[in-house]
């Protein structure tokens, strides 16, 4: 039966680091945008810098929110941000709460990423490795922007990495605390300045032998390898973001059996059994609709 998740306000899906809307037939939110449209949602994917700080990406997002509002006649938008996209959405909501109905963080590093901390320490400030890594990553981001049709977007690899460390996000949170939990691992206020806040995320669980056919997914193998670099949230992370670090507003669940890229439906729909990442987005759109959003 046809789902009806027609939200009052349009939904913007906001990508994170190295993200884009589409390259050829490949979409970063694989199958998610179409599933939402099939359920009656007006959905857009803004184009943002693949690598940059949260504030620069947030300002880019605010410009495109204005365009969506002008094009649809809507008064507000619902923002669903994956990974760094959650921080981008939070910035936009803090700066312009009058045009944001809700912010939903999907696998967002709302208290920073231990993996980013490890990488930041590995790239010594002012050293040749940092300069080389920055140049390579920026070139890669420029290449992604070119392929996605937006070569004009600025890129800044080191700024994006700094923005994702626990120190960098702590500085960000001091300026934009809306929706944050008062205690570690808790829930934050569900509504601040008229904006509703939600979050969900997953964790890498069990051993690779427990994954069945998902064990041959190279993206899952990468996330599982990265999960070993977490200390405070060891065995409680999705490979890039810790479970409790992801908490924001109303926590829908933070231990889905999903790695960081599964929550974008990247190959998850092909090899993972027992959970459908796309369904999480459609169900959330129904939640937003029922809340009058």
DSSP code, position 283: H
Q: Are 77 and 65 in contact (CB under 8 A)?
A: yes
- Taking CB atoms within 8 Å and a gap of at least 24, the contacts of 212-221 are 212/273, 213/271, 213/273, 214/268, 214/271, 214/272, 214/273, 216/271, 217/267, 217/268, 217/270, 217/271, 217/272, 219/259, 219/261, 219/266, 219/267, 220/259, 220/261, 220/262, 220/267, 220/271
Written as six digits, the tokens of 200 are 């969900």
Answer yes or no: 156 catalytic. no
Q: Are 280 and 233 in contact (CB under 8 A)?
A: no
Which is catalytic among the residues 49, 113, 160, 238? 238
Answer yes or no: 83 catalytic. yes
Answer yes or no: 238 catalytic. yes
**Hey, is 199 helix, strand or coil?**
strand
Written as six digits, the tokens of 279 are 């369904």
Which is catalytic among the residues 15, 30, 82, 83? 83
Instruction: Return the residue matching tokens 């070139």.
Output: 139
Q: Where are the beta strands (DSSP E) in the chain?
A: 11-14, 22-23, 26-27, 43-44, 77-82, 100-106, 191-192, 195-202, 250-256
Which is catalytic among the residues 245, 260, 262, 284? 260
Residues recognised as catalytic: 83, 238, 260
């Amino acid at each position: 039966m046809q789902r009806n998740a027609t939200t009052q306000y349009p939904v913007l899906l906001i990508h994170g680091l190295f993200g884009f809307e589409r390259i050829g037939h490949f979409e970063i939110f694989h199958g998610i945008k179409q599933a939402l449209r099939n359920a009656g949602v007006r959905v857009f994917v803004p184009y943002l810098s693949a690598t940059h700080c949260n504030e620069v990406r947030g300002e880019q997002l605010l410009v495109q929110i204005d365009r969506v509002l002008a094009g649809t006649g809507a008064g507000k938008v619902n923002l669903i941000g994956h990974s760094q996209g959650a921080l981008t959405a939070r910035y936009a909501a803090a700066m312009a709460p009058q045009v944001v109905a809700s912010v939903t963080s999907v696998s967002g590093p709302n208290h920073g990423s231990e993996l980013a901390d490890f990488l930041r320490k590995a790239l010594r400030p002012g050293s040749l490795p940092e300069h080389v890594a920055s140049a390579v990553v920026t070139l890669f981001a420029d290449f992604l922007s070119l392929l996605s049709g937006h070569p004009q977007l600025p890129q800044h690899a080191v700024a994006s990495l700094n923005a994702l460390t626990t120190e960098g996000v702590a500085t960000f949170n001091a300026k934009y605390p809306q929706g944050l939990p008062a205690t570690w691992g808790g829930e934050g206020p569900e509504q601040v300045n008229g904006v509703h806040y939600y979050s969900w995320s997953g964790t890498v669980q069990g051993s690779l032998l427990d994954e069945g056919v998902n064990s041959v997914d190279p993206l899952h193998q990468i996330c599982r390898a990265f999960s070993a670099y977490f200390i405070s949230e060891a065995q409680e992370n999705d490979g890039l973001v810790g479970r409790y670090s992801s908490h924001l507003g109303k926590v829908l669940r933070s231990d889905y059996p999903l790695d960081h890229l599964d929550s974008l439906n990247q190959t998850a729909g092909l090899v993972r059994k027992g959970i459908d990442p796309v369904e999480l987005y459609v169900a959330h759109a129904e939640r937003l609709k029922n809340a009058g959003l």
